[in-house]
Structure 1
Amino acid sequence: MCFLLCVCFIFASCLLHTQDVIAATINGNPTEANISSACGLPPQPDHGAYTEAPYPAAFPPGLDIKILEYTCFPPYRLVGKSPIFCNNGQWTGTFPTCKLFCKLARYYDMDFRCLVSEDPADGYTKCDYLIPSGAKVQPFCKVHYYSRVPLNIMTCVNRTWDYMPDTCRPECGTVIPKGTPLMSGGRPAKHGELPWHVGVYYKKNKPYEQICGGSIISRKVVLSAAHCFWKLEAMEPPCRYAVQAGKLFRDWNDEQDEEVQQRDVIDIKIPPHYRGVQTNFQYDLAIVILEKSLFFKMLVQPVCLDFGPEMDKRHLKPGSMGKVAGWGYTSEAGEPSPYLKVADLPSVGIQQCLNETSFAFKVYITVDKICAGYTNGTATVCKGDSGGGLSFPEQENGVTKYYLRGIVSTAPADGLTCNTITLTTFTHVASHNNFIKSYFENSDRLGFRHLNAKMIAFYNDTSVCFD
C-alpha cells in the first residue's frame, strides 16, 4: 500500500496535466484507444533486470500506465532512478543502467571533483562516495596542503582506479608576513608567526600549568625536549600532559586566544639512553603523540623537517639566524611572559660554544648538541622555553620556509630562572633522524603509525593520572 501511495504521489502531476488521459476517461470508464497500450517495454538492462509493478489500485482502471522496478546483479549497482513510469507512451526520465563502481575515499588532505564530460573544459561537479565505471575524477589538494607532482585525472575502470595519487603534503614552515602583534630580549610574536609552536601543559592543577614548548611535525606528533617529561629519574605518564596549538597567550584558558586547538597527550617516546642529568642531558628529545589529530589551518601548521646534511650544514653555519619562541621568563628575576615571544638567535659553532661557556657547563655540550644565542644579553631562552624549536629559513620557489634544526635543551644555571649572558644548547634534530623516522611508516610523508592496544591501555590507566 505504501508503494502504491508513493507512486500515486509522484505520478499525480503527470496525470493531472495529460489531456489525452482526461479525454479518454469519461465517468471513470476508459475508451478503446486507452486500452491498447502505447508503453512498449524496453530491453532488460545488462547485468540486471526489471520487473513490472502491479497496476496502482488508486488510479482509475484502464489507464495506459506502466511502472518498472530495476535491480542489478552484485557487484553491479544501479545508475539512475528506480522505479520509472510510463504514461500514454511517454517514459519519465532515462532508463537506469547497471555499472560497476569505484569507492572514493575521504581524505583530510585531498578532495575530488568529478568531470561533467570527457572534456575538462565542460566543468566539474561534486563527487559522491561511489563513482560509476568510466567516470573521471580530478584530485586536488586542500588548503594548506600541496603535491610535489601534478595530480592527474583518475578514471574508474571495473571497480578499480586506473591510478591513485600520492597523498598531499602539509604546507610546512610558512609564516604569515603580516599580523596583529600580541624570552628575555625577545619581541612579541605576531599572529601566526610561528604556527608550528605549541605550549606543553602539566595537568596537576587547574588551570593547567605551561611548562614547555614544542614543534608540530605532523597532525598527531609534536617534537619537544625529554626533560620536560622527566621527573625523579623516570618519565611521567603521558596522561599528565596536554598541548595547545595556535596559541599566543600563556594561560591555558586565556579568552584572548580565539582559534586554539587543545589536545591531550596519549604517548611520549624518548631515546632509551636518556637519563637526564645522569647522561648530561644527551638525547634530550621527545616525540609527543597527541590523542586526536590537529586540523591544519592558518594558525596551526607544521614546521619543515629535512635530515639532509647539506641543508643542515648551511643552516647551522656560524652567524646564521634562527627563530625560537616561548612563554619563558622575561628577565633574570622576572616572571613568565603572558604572551608568546620570539627571539632571533645566531648559530654558534661548537668550538666557540665551548670557549664561551663555564667549565661546569661544558659537559652538557654533548655530541648531539648545537649552540645558539648571545653572550651580551641581547636575547636568550629561559625557564619555560624548553622544548621549543630553533628553526632556520630556506627559500623555495620564492617562498620562505622554516626548517627545524634544534630543540631547546639546557643553559648554564646561576641560581636564577634566566641567565641572559650565556649561550643555549639545543638538541640537534638531525642527530636523531633514525629515532624520529623509526616511529613513522613513511618518513617522506611523516604518516604516524597507528597506536597499538598496549599504548591505549596505558593511557587509559587513570591510576597513574591526576584526579
Structure 2
Amino acid sequence: MLVNLVISEFYIHEKYAGDDKKYHDDVAVLKVNKEFVISIDVRPVCVDWDNMFENFDFIDGTDGTAVGWSYTPTEANLDEKLREVIMTYSPRSVCLEHFPEDFVQDYFGSDKFCARHRNKKTTTCKGASGGGLYFLSDNKQYYIRGIVSITARFEGMCSPNTYSLYTKIENYKYVVVLAASSNYQSYENIFIYIYHFAIT
C-alpha cells in the first residue's frame, strides 16, 4: 500500500554538520501534513525512552530486524523490492576488530552502536537511508533502538561481511520533545529519520 504524505516541517539536530563532524548526531524529525492512518501496512513502533530493555536488547548475539530499500551487496543499482534483514547486535569491542582504524576514529562515536548479519550474507547498505533497527523485547512488542547511519565500504561496494553503524534513538528524546512542542499536542505525527551516507 502506497502512502503519500507531504513533509511540512523538519527539525535537524543543532550539532549536525554532515561530513565536517563525521555525521555525528545525524538525526532529524520530520513533520507531515496529516496523521498516519494505522492499517495492516502502516504500524507504529515503540521507543524505549527509559532504557527499560537495553540490557535485554543489547546483548551480543541479540537479533534485530531492519527493513528498507537498499543497494544489495552484489548489485550497483538500488533495489526496488522492500527487503527485510536480520541484523545481530555486536558489542563495541567486537566491532572495533572489523572496522578500519580511521573509520572507527571518525565515525564510531558514542551516539552509535553496531550490528552485523548473523550469517554474513548481506548487510544494510547505501540506500537504506533512515531505516530502523527493531528488537522484539520481552514484553512482546517491537522497539526501535537504532537507525541506519553508516556502513564502511570496501572497493566501493558494501560487503556481506561488513558491520554497520546505527544511531541510538534513546539519545535523542529531547529532539523529539522539542519538535513535538512546536504546534504539537502528541507524538502522533512524528517519526525519526537519520541522514545516511555510506562511506566510499
TM-score range, shorter chain: 0.7 to 0.9
1:313 aligns with 2:55: yes
1:324–1:391: 8 Å Cα contact kept in structure 2? Answer: yes
Q: Which residue of 2 aligns with 1:446?
A: 187
Q: How big is the alpha-carbon RMSD for the aligned residues of Structure 1 and Structure 2?
A: 2.2
1:372 aligns with 2:118: no
Tell me the number of residue pairs that the alignment of Structure 1 and Structure 2 aligns: 187
Larger radius of gyration: 1
Matched-pair contact (CA < 8 Å) for 2:88–2:118 = no
Structure 1 contact 321–347 (Cα < 8 Å) conserved? yes
Structure-2 residue corresponding to 1:431: 171
Gaps of 5+ in 1: 1-258, 450-467
**Which structure 2 residues correspond to residues 144-159 of structure 1 after superposition, within 5 A?**
none
Match of 2:11?
269
Q: How high is the TM-score relative to the length of structure 1?
A: 0.38
Q: Deviations over 1:296-349 (max 9, x none)?
A: 112111111121123123212211100001111122343222211100010011
CA separation of 1:328 and 1:447: change in aligned 2, threshold 3 A:
closer
- Structure 2 gaps of 5+ residues are 191-200
TM-score normalised to structure 2 length:
0.84
CA change 1:339–1:319 in 2 (3 A) is same
1:369-408 matches, within 5 Å, as 369-374=112-117, 377-396=120-139, 400-408=140-148
Residue 94 of structure 2 corresponds to 352
Query: Separation in 1 of the partners of 2:21 and 2:161?
Result: 25
The 3-state SS of whatever aligns with 2:52 is: helix
More strand as a share of residues: 1
CA contact (8 A) 1:372 1:425 kept: yes
Contact 1:329 1:417 survives alignment (8 Å): no
User: Residues of 2 paired with 1:261 and 1:287: CA distance?
Assistant: 18
CA distance in 2, matches of 1:343, 1:337: 14
Task: Note closer, same or farther for the CA distance 1:447–1:335 as it changes in structure 2 (3 Å cut).
Answer: closer
Q: Establish whether residue 323 from structure 1 lines up as the match of residue 65 from structure 2.
A: yes
Cα distance in 1 for residues equivalent to 2:47 and 2:32: 19
Which is bigger in relative contact order (C-alpha 8 A, separation at least 6)?
2
**Residues 140-182 of structure 1, C-alpha deviations (whole Å, 9 max, x = no match):** xxxxxxxxxxxxxxxxxxxxxxxxxxxxxxxxxxxxxxxxxxx
Q: Distance in 1 between matches of 2:12 and 2:159?
A: 27
CA deviation after TM superposition for structure 1 residue 445, in Å: 5.3
Q: Percent identity?
A: 25
Counterpart code for 1:319: G
Letter in 1 for 2:103: F
2: CA distance between counterparts of 1:308 and 1:277?
A: 30
Equivalent positions of 1:8-407 (< 5 A) are 259-362=1-104, 363-374=106-117, 377-396=120-139, 400-407=140-147
Instruction: Tell me the alpha carbon deviations over residues 387-440 of structure 1, each in whole angstroms, 9 at most, x when there is no partner.
Output: 1000100243xxx32100000000112342423221000000011122222222
* Equivalent-residue separation in structure 1 for 2:76 and 2:24 (angstroms): 29
